[in-house]
Amino acid sequence: MKKGKAFIVDLAAKARVTVNGTNPWDIQVHNEDFYPRVTQQAQLGLGESYMDGWWDCEQLDEFFFRVLRADLDDELRNWKLAIHYLRATLVNYQTKSRALKVAHKHYDIGNDLYVPMLGKSMAYTCGYWKNTKNLDEAQEAKYELICKKVGLKPGMRVLDLGCGFGGFLKYAAERYKITGVGVNISREQLKFAREACAGLPIEFQLMDYRDVKGTFDRVISIGLMEHIGHKNYRTFLSLARERLADDGLFLLHTIGSNKSTPATDPWTDKYIFPNGHLPSVKYLGESMEQLFVLEDWHNFGADYDATLMAWHANFVAHWDEIKKDYDDRFYRMWTYYLLSCAGAFRARKLQLWQLVLSKKGVLGGYHSVR
């Protein structure tokens, strides 16, 4: 056996995954160099070797569900990962200039990919699947849930930090007659948003969140917190407080981690979300102290599993029209990204949180909406 093979085989067995087994969640290894590559490079080696075609799995999401539910990721930690985390502890990877990297690397790679994958809502965040039958319904239900949680009323002025493709502001303007401002650093997302929201009282600005001015009745952030970085959480939350009217509400929608780590894993950082970071309860709690009153904390992380599986199904179904701008290595990379994340949410390693925050507390108490 080459170095590392026995270790990997035994490790996989702890999650009831058999190397070269017959179950759909078993991995099929095509290159013996896979074993030392994973033992030496951990998550980065596992992901890159999949991209290189060194191994396959019929149900990659189920493989990751079993591996992560068994906490095998903790057993693959090594000195390289420790250095990765140490750098993120010492360096602010989410300064204004560095924050642009994720826009170029991920969000601006082409709306021809995102339009068929995301569906008519163009929401690139977790849907709310309660009492819904498909992705489009779940995303609309998520928008409606947010509107109700913050008590939108006609004429309110709403700030959407991160705004994505403009879906939430479009929904809120059409259904609740608000006016809005969306800020984003992705040129391609803003191009789509401006076209989709033409004629509505919504303004979109190519701008870092740190440069936003004005006062708003409601502030919304859906999926931006994952790009803020732990060194900037206090700055971000202070900005949200400054932009919020005294009697306003701030809704923060973010993926959350069960552990307080200073960076995402090396593979995700390199290929999907450079300089990203998932907040934890500890990070958020420390950062919001004396800035906000926490009115509500809602976790529906299990719904991200269904959302990611729907995105993957759309991606596969439309690959023939998408692939003109991408190669087979991208297909494997994107598949790995979507299905590994689905497995992580299924295993409850990752969460999806919506927090409702106020400056001084809602008099008489806030009434939670589900």
The amino acid at residue 100 is L
Tens-digit pLDDT profile for residues 71-102:
998 887 776 778 888 788 888 989 999 999 99
Are 347 and 69 in contact by the 8 Å Cβ rule? The answer is yes
Quick one: pLDDT at residue 352?
Answer: 98
Active site residues: 341
Residue 315 carries which side chain, given as an amino acid letter? F
Over the stretch 146-202, which tens digit does the pLDDT of each residue have? 999 999 999 999 999 999 999 999 999 999 999 999 999 999 999 999 999 999 999
What is d(CA 338, CA 340) in angstroms, rounded to the nearest whole number? 6
Mean pLDDT in the chain?
Answer: 96
The confidence band for 3, taking pLDDT boundaries of 50, 70 and 90, is low
Q: What is the 3-state secondary structure (H, E, C) of the chain?
A: CCCCHHHHHHHHHHCCCCCCCCCCCCEEECCCCHHHHHHHHHHHHHHHHHHCCCEEECCHHHHHHHHHHCCHHHHCCCHHHHHHHHHHHHCCCCCHHHHHHHHHHHHCCCHHHHHHHHCCCCCCCCCCCCCCCCHHHHHHHHHHHHHHHCCCCCCCEEEEECCCCCHHHHHHHHHHCCEEEEEECCHHHHHHHHHHCCCCCEEEEECCHHHCCCCEEEEEEECCHHHCCHHHHHHHHHHHHHHEEEEEEEEEEEEEECCCCCCCCHHHHHHCCCCCCCCCHHHHHHHHCCCCEEEEEEECCHHHHHHHHHHHHHHHHCHHHHHHHCCHHHHHHHHHHHHHHHHHHHCCCEEEEEEEEECCCCCCCCCCCC
Q: Is the pLDDT of residue 223 over 50?
A: yes
98-155 residue pLDDT tens: 999 999 999 999 999 999 999 999 999 999 999 999 999 999 999 999 999 999 999 9
pLDDT of 15 higher than 50: yes
In the chain, the percentage of residues whose pLDDT exceeds 70 is 99
Q: Summarize the confidence of residues 286-301 as an average pLDDT.
A: 98
pLDDT at 89: 84
pLDDT for residue 1: 42
- pLDDT at position 77 is 74
- State residue 88's pLDDT score: 84
Burial class (CB in 10 A: 0-12, 13-18, 19+), 96: exposed
* pLDDT on residue 83: 84
Per residue in 254-282, pLDDT tens? 999 999 999 999 999 999 999 999 999 99
Q: Is 70 exceeded by the pLDDT of residue 344?
A: yes
